[in-house]
Structure 1
Amino acid sequence: MRCDDDIDALLRLALAGGPAAPRRGLLERFASAAAACRAGPDAWRIAGLDADQAQALRQPDRAALARARAWLAAPGRHLLGWHDPDYPPQLRRTPNPPPALFVAGEPARLWHPGIAVVGSRAPTPGGREHAREFAHAFAASGLAVVSGLAAGIDTAAHEGALEAGGLTVAVLGTGPDVAYPRANAGLLERIAASGVVVSEHPPGTGPHRGHFPSRNRILAGLALGTVVVEAALRSGALITARLAAEAGREVFALPGSIRNPLARGCHRLIRDGAALIEGPGEAIDALAAQAAELATDLRARLCAPISPSQGNDAAPAADPPPADPDHQTLWNALGHDPTGMDELVARTGLTAAAVSSMLLLMELEGRVASRHGRYFRSR
């Protein structure tokens, strides 16, 4: 099979599976995914690929490759490689980032400052309510809410963010098109339409026990901090918290009753150094400086001309600086009434990717707000 097309080559690397580090090494060593695939078995062996990975590169699963190509052909779907400048910087700084990400939604939104909300799949009613309330507050404050689409706390967190009209990111341990549990298929569609769905696994990949602990490193890596709402002493949420701490991220835990077994994991985290929080504002304040730093990174990536707002109480300027005509065009197209992405693309004549990236930056700077996937100038 020829390896001249970069997307096809990246798909082959993603489908090869196995340890991530050797595949990242190939993408770092060669100018493109296509060049990495063309390098051949000797180069693959030197990079550390095992025999199974090398065989998968030589003879990829044709059915899986066709399924992935078909998934990518639909609007709003992307394959983001380690060598791509738009690869999320927060994830890039973690110990073992994936070599490629399947993304449903705008990849630039993975740069958005976010906070992970995780916990038990079978929470108490109070835990579920806390997850929804905290996620709603985080989303309303401008933070993305990152979670894993699992039952229980994850579901409540995603729903709370969507109810606030904010951004939520679902990190899956399945393919990007496979909801787990199946009952969350509708929620997955809603997130793909207005937020972002991310997976390192190709389309069609079903649930496997080993994928979920691995998924948690992406979840923790995309977020500035992780909030654990309820967790038993042996739970995936504690794995996520540990991975967040190892990546140098903040870890927060909600205290609970000493008689609640789902509070014991949180209490252990607090004893081990996690920050005890009783309200969402405590986490928002703790992450404010890091969120501003990430916004600066995004400005540098986009070379955007808009000056940051001077705080929540400062009135936004009437117009952004006109140094960049595309930013000025988009600003002129925005009004005080919520406007959908398709309408903004039609008004400006810009691509959807360009509009989405500029809107993200304007959101970070407080000039633009969004509600249910529609955008308007902040008052």
Structure 2
Amino acid sequence: MNHDDLVAWLTLAAVPNLGGHKIYQLLPHASPRQLCRMSAEELNAIGFKPRQIEALLRPNERRIERCLQWAEGELQTIITLDSPDYPPLLKEIASAPPLLFVRGDPQWLHRPQMAVVGSRSASIDGRESAYAFAASLAVADYVVTSGLALGVDGQAHAGALSTGGATVAVLGSGLDKLYPARHRELAGHIIEQGALVSEFWPDEVPRPQNFPRRNRVISGLSVGVLVIEAAEKSGSLITARYALEQGREVFALPGSIHVPGSRGCNALIKSGAKLVESPVDIFEEIGSLTECVKSKQLDLPRPQPENEELPFSSVLANVGNEATPVDVVAERCKQPVHEVMTQLLELELRGVVSTVPGGYIRTRRG
């Protein structure tokens, strides 16, 4: 995009209460540059309010210039709503952001994404589940999308990264105002193996009202949302509600009726969300995505031919969708550890199991 077009988009995006939906409706009639050149009378005639007209005719040029300088930084991109780089799934939602600020590789936004969200104060089981589910999704070539928050979100990003997979973090602040600061190192790894994304200008500080808005982007980018631990009133349930409104699949991990942090997930299941006990439950539900993705010529893993026999069936039968240590596999198979390690190595070379922190998991191919 040339300089003048990007300036026009930034000017439009700064207009209060305009939003991507209204801009998208205007685009067939006038480009952003044409809108910025209209008189107050012309803008009023097409529905602009006085405050909006003032913002459009007298933009904050210094802030726009800082934003343009930001976009010149390494691995930093501004994607406009009319750009072919704009994620197609996100463009479908009613309140698509007019701009996306991206740090990392924006091509990950075009790959099939699964959102994994949950409590910031998750239990040990919840954190381990987020890590294991995200690792399995990443091995199956799904980009894991979450919100970089403490608890479940951070574990989901880490789980995807642990397998060499990709992950996308959607922020409730500008990309220069990273929140929470504790995840600065994690964010650096995400930039290398995915992308940080925000609809907020780079210098926007985190504000409470930004996070519910952020949640609609998380679900909007994804084909489905997995909720792991959520109280009855939580941001994760807001994400699930957005997902339902956007026609996305909603999955929930059940929990004890005596644990407050499980009540939100249990309520989602009662309302029709799919109960999930393993990543296989997710793959079964969104299996039709494979054909959709293939039609877009994306590189998903090929299914295992039915007539191909895999070796070491006893070892493979004892590796599941959650990390299993080598000594546990050996104990179950009643074989020496060194023999099991050799067999697991061959299975890994065949692409049917994968090494993750804590042991091995079975891949989608397996």
Deviation at residue 289 of structure 1 after TM alignment: 1.4
Change (3 A) 1:193 1:155: same
Change (3 A) 1:36 1:297: farther
**Aligned equivalents of 2:43, 2:112: Cα separation in 1:** 36
**Greater gyration radius:** 2
1:29 maps to: 29
Counterpart secondary structure, 2:288: helix
Change (3 A) 1:295 1:33: farther
| Identical counterparts, % of pairs | 40
1:265 maps to: 264
- 8 Å contact kept, 1:4–1:34: no
Correspondence 1:291-370 to 2 at 5 A = 291-297=290-296, 311-313=303-305
Deviation at residue 127 of structure 1 after TM alignment: 0.5
**Aligned equivalents of 2:297, 2:176: Cα separation in 1:** 28
**Aligned equivalents of 1:27, 1:172: Cα separation in 2:** 27
**Aligned equivalents of 1:168, 1:17: Cα separation in 2:** 31
Change (3 A) 1:108 1:234: same
Deviation at residue 57 of structure 1 after TM alignment: 2.1
**Aligned equivalents of 2:8, 2:295: Cα separation in 1:** 32
Within the alignment, does 1:158 sit opposite 2:150 as a pair?
A: no
Deviation at residue 281 of structure 1 after TM alignment: 1.7
Deviation at residue 46 of structure 1 after TM alignment: 4.6
- 8 Å contact kept, 1:27–1:36: no
Counterpart secondary structure, 2:149: coil
TM-score normalized by structure 1?
Answer: 0.75
- 8 Å contact kept, 1:173–1:201: yes
**Aligned equivalents of 2:46, 2:84: Cα separation in 1:** 22
Q: Which deviates more from structure 2 when the two are superposed, residues 172-181 or residues 37-46?
A: 37-46
**Aligned equivalents of 1:111, 1:173: Cα separation in 2:** 21
Q: In the alignment, residue 60 of structure 1 is paired with which amino acid?
A: P
1:200 maps to: 199
**Aligned equivalents of 1:155, 1:49: Cα separation in 2:** 41
Q: Which deviates more from structure 2 when the two are superposed, residues 89-98 or residues 222-231?
A: 89-98
Change (3 A) 1:4 1:184: closer
Task: Deviation per CA, 1:40-62: give whole Å up to 9, x if none.
Answer: 43454455444333322222223
Q: In the alignment, residue 238 of structure 2 is paired with which amino acid?
A: I
Correspondence 1:227-246 to 2 at 5 A = 227-246=226-245
Deviation at residue 183 of structure 1 after TM alignment: 1.0
Deviation at residue 66 of structure 1 after TM alignment: 2.6
Q: In the alignment, residue 25 of structure 2 is paired with which amino acid?
A: G
Deviation at residue 17 of structure 1 after TM alignment: 4.3
1:12 maps to: 11
- 8 Å contact kept, 2:141–2:301: no
**Aligned equivalents of 1:218, 1:241: Cα separation in 2:** 12
Q: In the alignment, residue 248 of structure 2 is paired with which amino acid?
A: R
Counterpart secondary structure, 2:27: helix
**Aligned equivalents of 1:224, 1:253: Cα separation in 2:** 15
Deviation at residue 256 of structure 1 after TM alignment: 0.5
Change (3 A) 1:7 1:129: same
2:339 maps to: none
1:57 maps to: 56
Task: Deviation per CA, 1:109-133: give whole Å up to 9, x if none.
Answer: 2110010000111111111111111
**Aligned equivalents of 1:27, 1:281: Cα separation in 2:** 42
**Aligned equivalents of 1:309, 1:181: Cα separation in 2:** 34
Counterpart secondary structure, 2:14: helix
Q: Which deviates more from structure 2 when the two are superposed, residues 59-68 or residues 37-46?
A: 37-46
Q: CA RMSD in A?
A: 2.5
In structure 1, runs of 5+ residues without a counterpart are 300-305, 315-365, 372-377
Counterpart secondary structure, 1:198: strand
2:65 maps to: 66
- 8 Å contact kept, 1:81–1:87: yes
Counterpart secondary structure, 2:168: strand
Deviation at residue 63 of structure 1 after TM alignment: 3.4
Deviation at residue 8 of structure 1 after TM alignment: 1.3
**Aligned equivalents of 1:75, 1:196: Cα separation in 2:** 13
- 8 Å contact kept, 2:113–2:223: yes
**Aligned equivalents of 2:49, 2:305: Cα separation in 1:** 56
In structure 2, runs of 5+ residues without a counterpart are 307-350, 357-364
1:149 maps to: 148
**Aligned equivalents of 1:298, 1:108: Cα separation in 2:** 14
**Aligned equivalents of 1:254, 1:85: Cα separation in 2:** 36
2:136 maps to: 137
- 8 Å contact kept, 2:140–2:301: no
